[in-house]
Structure 1
């Protein structure tokens, strides 16, 4: 586990290896409480999980097609999401009563827009043009074979007394067949892709560096 110097306004932690989802959920909730109490620093926590399906508050039971992996009630917004090896999950714990770069205080919509912009700028560093789509959560890239679009990154947040937790998931090189056990985010008409599937053979370290650089442009 690595962390930046204490002088950084937001603490960045990158956990090595696999982080079990259950303990990660408990750690996030505890740290969000510490931020509210003024005893914890704001934090971006980058992890990689074992294969896991997580259910948001709007998840439909029928959208869990194949419970081949452990499932968790995540408590965030949204529906079903997959986490697993080759995917970088970023948990974002910020005091939203404060200004963060271009994101105004107490504006959850602007915060989510900022998370989307963070991912868009991260992917742009790999010459992958990802875009928002009205009515579809996440970031999308063209699928030239089908003429439709595929999701390359997901977003799911929770805000408790103006402190955020949960966050984003960027597909670097996960096993895309694992998404077949769910209807990702309740959207069945579109597929899922990754940097590697787009022909960008980035390492996790390179993805982390891009996330860190793009963060400063949006939230710095």
Structure 2
């Protein structure tokens, strides 16, 4: 469990589905600093494999931060002298923004017990997001070769805006990092980067699409759809070919 004066202690609960091991859900209150959370997540990730610690999903909001994944290019950080902190991180993907109004879900699962297929895992994360936002009247879609979930619009070159980002890392077949769903973040903050390296699309949120969704409502939807994509009865139903 995370500790330290900079991290607000989470509320804990767990869920079990059809004989699956319990997954511990932790919801953090307040804006969380990026690096302490990542350090704690790395420790828990290692403990899942080393000591059999419970699989976990951490729900939180980050204080404003730009993070660059393993494929992030310097040229895509358009405002390098921004007052918002910038960190390189070990997840996959490129530049993204985290901040107030965005729900982060850090997902730590034993993928070896779920078929050992990373592409299947990313596909399951995408399906999970599509079901979540579908509860609030938003139709999400995948774009080939571009992880994350998109919605159709009439403005960008591609006709899409991104509503949720995915960036994962897998260590000894245990996942960490995860997803970010835009409820009502400051969309102007994305102007300082080329989000996920994609130049033909914009960024949107549930709020910008006219849907007033609370974190409690979103979190309930996350839990409701989790077992469909990650539970024992249909673990990672998609398999990469």
The interval holding the TM-score normalised by the smaller chain is over 0.9
What is the rounded CA distance, in whole Å, between the counterparts of 1:74 and 1:111 in structure 2? 20
Q: Aligned pair in 2 of structure 1 residues 34, 188: CA closer, same or farther (>3 Å)?
A: same
Match of 2:13 in 1: 4
Match of 1:125 in 2: 135
What is the rounded CA distance, in whole Å, between the counterparts of 2:193 and 2:130 in structure 1? 25
What is the rounded CA distance, in whole Å, between the counterparts of 1:10 and 1:135 in structure 2? 30
Alignment of 1:1-220 (within 5 A): 1-5=10-14, 9-67=22-80, 68=82, 69-99=84-114, 105-146=115-156, 148-220=159-231
Structure 1 position 84, deviation (Å): 0.3
What is the rounded CA distance, in whole Å, between the counterparts of 2:137 and 2:129 in structure 1? 12
TM-score by length of 1: 0.94
| Structure 2 unaligned blocks of 5 or more | 1-9, 232-241
RMSD: 1.4
Kindly provide the CA deviation profile for residues 147-198 of structure 1, in whole angstroms up to 9, marking residues without a partner as x.
7110000000000110100000000000000011110100011100000011
| Structure 1 unaligned blocks of 5 or more | 100-104
Q: How many residues align?
A: 215
Say if 2:134 and 2:140, in contact at 8 Å, map to a contact too. yes
What is the rounded CA distance, in whole Å, between the counterparts of 1:194 and 1:107 in structure 2? 30
Kindly provide the CA deviation profile for residues 29-72 of structure 1, in whole angstroms up to 9, marking residues without a partner as x.
00001001124110000110011000100100010011321011
Q: Which runs of 4+ in 1 moved over 3 A?
A: 5-8, 144-147
Q: Secondary structure at the match of 2:221?
A: helix
Q: Aligned pair in 2 of structure 1 residues 59, 200: CA closer, same or farther (>3 Å)?
A: same
